[in-house]
Amino acid sequence: MIWAWVAGASLLIWLGLLIARDGFWLTRERDTHGILPQPAAWPPVTAVVPARDEADVIAATIASLIAQDYPGAFKIILVDDSSTDGTAEAARRAAGASERLTILSAAPLAPGWTGKLWAVSQGIAAAGTIPRYLLLTDADIAHDADSVRMLVMRAEAGGLKLVSLMAKLRCISFAERALIPAFVFFFQLLYPFAQVNRPRGPGAAAGGCMLVDRDTLAQAGGIGAIRGALIDDCAFGAMIKRHGPIWLGLTSRVRSIRPYDHWQTVAAMISRSAYAQLAYSPLLLAGTLAGLALVYAAPPLLALFGSGTARWLALAAWLLMALAFQPMLRFYQRSPLWGAALPLIAAFYAGCTWASAWQHWRGRGGLWKGRVQAAIGA
């Protein structure tokens, strides 16, 4: 009888997620939806790109920004954060004769800051008061030529203080095909884009591509207001939303070109900030792992090894789980059969969450580019 209750609870949870979680799984919030008018005048925009040892991807990123067809003034500031691999030189070669690019050498990391935000803060300071908008974009993000133009059109048409796009992540290697669509699926489960885009919903953003109104950012306290945040994009989105409307959506015109060719590299990406998402709380960690077991592990286990009512309830929950994953699989052009594997994928993410906590307890939390940063936000 107890297993029937477990299976029933899992089924009810999945019904609730599909019905009452603002359709997070439908991937409806996309930058291709809706016709946007052109503004009467194109406001100045400055892109700020923090980079630390990114020589393998920075050329493609800078070239895509140089190639923007934006009708207004558009500048690019690359902040080279103590790179040792020739990042600045690769960016300079990619820019060619263009006058759009300025390269800054970041000052030594200040106490209390994460490395990325410290670099971003210097880029924002260098941009001054000329730009109406700041495009905060990562060193591994390649943009289609109309990216900045479409971001500004959306911001101007909706009076938005922040427009953020979830960059389409690379999905080529087997590890990427198995794990990357679920990364975005889980992100949307935590922060349903439809809720984020409503006036009274939670604030969130995707850090790879954020167009923010410069004056609003200053009113919110500047980037220094979140200087210790490890999950800086969601902290940034919440901060800006307190000062006006924001919009978050999926896109194919902004893409991450960083490769995750092995399981270990995906695991490192997840575990870097997973425990920070749980506010470094052992209690929340235990609750999260138990919840993952109930929601993702129980349905396939009981469907395969249970009997009677428990098996049928579990099978229904597993089916709903697989169906919920289908829109994201289509977005990433992956086989629908991956839907049945979502419990195994969730188990991998659970393991990464535990690893994130373990790294934090060992004083190695938030490790990125040789810096341990999680203690800053703990």
Residues 148-175: pLDDT tens digits? 999 999 999 999 999 999 999 999 999 9
Copy the structure tokens of residue 331.
């977005």
Strands 162-168 and 209-213 come out as antiparallel
Cβ neighbourhood burial of 282 (10 Å; 0-12, 13-18, 19+): exposed
Of 13-17, 198-202, 287-291, least confident by mean pLDDT is 198-202
Reading across the β-sheet that carries 141-143, which strands appear in turn? Answer: 101-105, 74-80, 45-51, 133-137, 209-213, 162-168, 246-256, 141-143
Residue-wise pLDDT for 50-63, tens only, equals: 999 999 999 999 99
The label of the residue with tokens 């209690």 reads: 283
Query: Against a cut of 0.85, is the pTM above it?
Result: yes
Specify the pLDDT at position 355: 93
Specify the pLDDT at position 131: 97
Specify the pLDDT at position 377: 46
Model confidence at 366: pLDDT above 60: no
Specify the pLDDT at position 229: 87
Give the chain's domains with CATH numbers: 2-24+269-371 (no CATH), 27-263 (3.90.550.10)
What does the alpha-carbon distance between residue 201 and residue 211 come to, in Å, rounded to a whole number? 19
Model confidence at 372: pLDDT above 80: no
Copy the structure tokens of residue 377.
């936000």
Residue-wise pLDDT for 40-89, tens only, equals: 999 999 999 999 999 999 999 999 999 999 999 999 999 999 999 999 99
Nearest by Cα to 132 from 68, 44, 71:
44
Mean pLDDT of the chain: 94
Specify the pLDDT at position 363: 81
Residue-wise pLDDT for 238-270, tens only, equals: 999 999 999 999 999 999 999 998 899 999 989
Specify the pLDDT at position 369: 61
Model confidence at 211: pLDDT above 80: yes
